[in-house]
Structure 1
Amino acid sequence: MFSRVIVVVVGVASLAACGVQEAADSVPKQVAVASPSGPSGSSGQSAAASALTITDPWIKTTKKGMTAAFGTLVNDSGTAVTVVSGSSPLSPKVELHEVVESGGKMVMQPKKGGFVIPAKSSHVLKPGGDHIMLMGVTEEVKPGAEVPFTLVLEGGGTFAFTAMGKDFAGGKEDYQPGMDMSGDHG
């Protein structure tokens, strides 16, 4: 399933300097590109997936519980691409989240409608903003770990990439467990 992903090294950055966030954010590390010919053979599904790339994909290190993945989704096509859900072998529950203000606090919640990447544009996934949330992770994520993801696109196509484990102190948002976190994104 992940054999259709081509990873191109665009820049080099030392993961040993995890404490220096500016340096880590300023240098794109990877671009993952989905192969234009998917196993389904449907050109409609693979066209959207082949137009989508991700720069600097990373996942916050954790021993257990929840974590999140980040990067910049880039759409090189002439039409918008919408990510409606995601999965990873690291977690039984993966949701697309946003961070919003509620009652004077920053809280994360499922992003209704998913992540829309406009034509010839990008969509940033970052701490304190939109991100891919993993709940109930099944194993520890250490610095340098390579974690595979598959994003499901509106219309049924998929896009696969690998995120690199990276230490990060985290945003100051709260998770609202009482909210509807069903993740019914399609």
Structure 2
Amino acid sequence: MKTVLALGSNLGRRFQTLQGAVDALFDAPGLEFVAASPVYETDPVGGPGGQRPYLNAVVVAETTLEPHTLLERAQSTEDAFGRVRQERWGPRTLDIDLIVVGDIVSDDPELTLPHPMAHERAFVLLPWAQADPDAELPGKGRVADLLAGLDQRGARLREDLKLQRPD
């Protein structure tokens, strides 16, 4: 199944954390790297004021994992990079969101698929459209079309930063 994971960081060594997360996610069977987006620096959305900008990227992969197993891997990776869950939309060393897992639709409170706010987030759609120009968000439409309707002024391409394929 094709899966899309959105990565973000606004604490610590942001880029090194994103690259480390990519390496860690693909360090076990069940997840095969397909593509990584360019890295964008984005203004924080929601949460407390005074936060640093985020670095955001999207990774496209093929997986044989069940969605909850993939979620556990993502959360373990967040934990390994010092993620603390104290404040909703607060600053974080690492955030990994499962955006889509195949064509699975789930209303499970632990894991809603597709991600319920992905269609509203330029910081997800912009890198996703770069990693997979023909991408579609199930139930919402083409990612490029959804992106065209969003304000993208808070996102800046970081041409000096490029995620590498996992080791």
TM-score normalized with structure 1 length: 0.26
Task: Look at both structures and tell me which one has the larger radius of gyration over its CA atoms.
Answer: 1
Structure number with higher helix proportion:
2
- Greater share of strand residues, 1 or 2? 1
Relative contact order higher in (CA < 8 Å, ≥ 6 apart): 2
